Amino acid sequence: MDSKDSGTIYFLAGLLFGGLVGAGIGIMVAPESGEKTIAKLRKEGNKLVKKSMDAIEDFEKDQIEPAVNKVAKQIRSKVAEVRTDVKAAL
C-alpha cells in the first residue's frame, strides 16, 4: 500500500471520527428535547454512515479494483509463460 492509499484510509477514519465527535458535542449543547435530539442524531448518523459507505465504495472502485486487475493481469501473463515453457519441455 503506498502513501496515497494510507492517506485515503486516514482521511476516511478522520471523517468518521469527526462526525462522531460532532454528534457528541451536538448532544451536549442541544436546546431541544431528548426525543427530538435522538431523532436528529439518528437521521444525521444514518447520513454519516451512507457518506462513509459511499467513500469506501469510491475508494474500492478507484484504488483497489485497478490494483487487483493489475496483479491479475501479471498472474495471467506468468501462467501463460509457464504453460509455454512446459509445452516446450514436453
Q: What is the largest CA-CA distance in the chain?
A: 82
CA distance 19 to 50: 12
**What is this structure's pTM?**
0.48
Angle separating helix axes 34-59 and 3-29, nearest 10 degrees: 170
Question: Using one digit for the tens of pLDDT, what is the confidence trace for 31-67?
Answer: 767 788 778 878 888 888 888 888 888 888 888 888 8
Residue 23 confidence (pLDDT) above 80:
no
**DSSP letter assigned to residue 1:** -
Question: Following CA atoms 28, 42, 50, 23 in sequence, which dihedral angle do they give, to the nearest 10 degrees?
Answer: 0
Would you state the pLDDT for residue 18?
84
